[in-house]
């Protein structure tokens, strides 16, 4: 279940020009091709948002994918790429936020709260 945009201020974190898709294309070092393609797929709903919203977009996309995986019990070896993509998205959220250090604590608190609220598969 996608979460609404966070009012935490993480939308100011990336500080780059262009879109979230452009920002992902500039990540260095670039992810391996299969992971890069999956990240673009997961970020597609956020692709045209301004790059300064990359931290929020990555966190939302990672959260949405993790919730989907847990609800469908997709946690086996066949889901490895998706799990790796979730990890990469959360990592990239913090890398983007690191450009504005005063936002890191808010992003961390927001991420912990939102990810903890994802229901476990029953």
* Structure confidence by residue, pLDDT tens digits, 38-82: 999 999 999 999 999 999 999 999 999 999 999 898 878 889 999
CA distances from 120 to 1, 21, 75, 97, 116 (A): 13, 30, 11, 27, 9
Lowest mean pLDDT among 64-68, 104-108, 117-121: 117-121
Number of compact structural domains in the chain: 1
What span, in angstroms and rounded, lies between the C-alpha atoms of 71 and 49?
27
Q: Residue 60 domain-assigned? A: yes
Q: Residue 30 domain-assigned? A: yes
For 89-116, what is the mean pLDDT?
Answer: 87
Sequence-ordered list of residues with C-beta below 8 angstroms from that of 37, at least 6 positions apart, any chain: none
Q: Residue 121 domain-assigned? A: no
What span, in angstroms and rounded, lies between the C-alpha atoms of 14 and 113?
21
Q: Residue 1 domain-assigned? A: no
Cα 17 to chain centroid distance, Å, stands at 18
CA dihedral 98, 103, 109, 111 (to 10 degrees): -50
């Amino acid at each position: 279940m996608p979460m609404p945009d966070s009012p935490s201020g993480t939308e100011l974190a990336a500080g780059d020009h262009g879109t979230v898709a452009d920002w992902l294309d500039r990540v260095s070092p670039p992810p391996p091709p299969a992971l890069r393609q999956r990240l673009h797929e997961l970020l597609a709903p956020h692709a045209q948002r301004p790059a300064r919203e990359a931290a929020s977009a990555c966190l939302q996309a990672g959260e949405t994918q993790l919730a989907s995986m847990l609800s469908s019990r997709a946690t086996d070896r066949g889901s490895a790429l998706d799990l790796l993509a979730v990890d990469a998205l959360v990592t990239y959220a913090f890398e983007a936020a690191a450009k504005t250090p005063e936002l890191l604590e808010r992003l961390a608190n927001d991420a912990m709260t939102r990810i903890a609220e994802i229901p476990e598969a029953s």
